[in-house]
Amino acid sequence: MKGSREFKGNSLLEDVSDYVAIDLETTGLDPMYDDIIEFGAVKVSNGIIIDKFQSLINPGYEISPFIATLTGISNEMLASAPSLVPTLSKFIEFLGNYTIVRHNVNFDINFIYDACVNNLGVAFSNNFIDTMRLSRRIFPEEKHHRLSDVSKRFSIGENVEHRALSDAIKAHECYESIKKYLAESNISFSSLYPHTTYKHSSIRAKDIVPTIDVPRDTSPFFKKIFVFTGTLEHRTRKEAMQMVVNLGGLCGDRVTKQTDFLVLGNNDYCKTIKDGKSSKQKRAEQLKLSGSNIEILSENAFYDMMASETFNILKEEFH
């Protein structure tokens, strides 16, 4: 069942007064191979913490020195900690039906979902709010949106302890600061939702042709094939495709063995996606695991790549 999250809750951009802010510490980044070693959560009502939950979890094996150093959780601390199942049951009871708030929340939700399915036989379907996603919508000009960046932006303090309870509290503080900022700036949460003004299917890769004359054969992207999936947050897909062909690249409509780059947009509002990944992303991951040279880029990484290459080409052309 791991990796199949058909009943996962919805990602919200909303102002809620009652919620639970959470954080997990884990042995690694992949729910398929790694395990939870700490739960932390704070229950909030009208901006005030009214209850807390914290527990270490013994994973049944020694954690790596890297994780121990990152979190400050030692194998000695975990040796006397309870096992996952009884603690997970208490944690889920604490969460109830509350909306979950977390920074980069999908990481935690996926771990919780898989743990619930594989150990309790139930799906975890609470809706959730991601303070990282909110930050990206509110401050698109900012380069970084890590928990430490958002905390610093709102003068909460940029230190991130990598311990579950303290980071859950920090996520709560970030969310309350975001709500206050939006209210003071007269910005509604509904305005943060993307407004797609075109249909992806109406754009065909073969219709995008260069609009400028540049020495494209000198570009490392010359004849490299780019494919896009999801809704881009800062440009239309057509605009992004135009950037590619103007630098000598090519665009494709499907991910194939010839695809060089897949650029990931936002899939949150595609109702056919159940586990957070489009069919294009799944295909690209399969190809990469089988030895293909395809690279999977975030939208921001794509813009950074394009901006750097534009600068280099113009420099060669005029100097």
Classified as helix, coil or strand, 42 is strand
Q: Are 116 and 88 in contact (CB under 8 A)?
A: yes
Nearest to 99 by CA among 169, 141, 43: 43
DSSP tag of 83: P
- How far apart, in whole angstroms, are the C-alpha atoms of residue 70 and residue 164? 12
Q: Which amino acid is at 118?
A: N
Length of the chain: 319
Six-digit token string for 31:
């729910």
For this structure, is 144 an active site residue?
no
| Largest distance between two CA atoms of the chain | 68
Q: Which amino acid is at 280?
A: K
Q: Are 227 and 280 in contact (CB under 8 A)?
A: yes
Q: Are 95 and 126 in contact (CB under 8 A)?
A: yes
- How far apart, in whole angstroms, are the C-alpha atoms of residue 317 and residue 40? 55
- Residues 6 or more apart in contact with residue 198 via CB below 8 angstroms: 236, 237, 238
Q: What angle do CA 160, 58, 21 make, to 5 degrees?
A: 40
CA distances to 17, 60, 197 from 85, in Å: 30, 12, 47
- How far apart, in whole angstroms, are the C-alpha atoms of residue 225 and residue 206? 12
Question: Catalytic pick from 103, 144, 145, 162?
Answer: 162
Q: Are 243 and 276 in contact (CB under 8 A)?
A: no
Question: What is the number of other CB atoms lying within 10 angstroms of the CB of residue 233?
Answer: 14
Active-site annotation, residues: 162
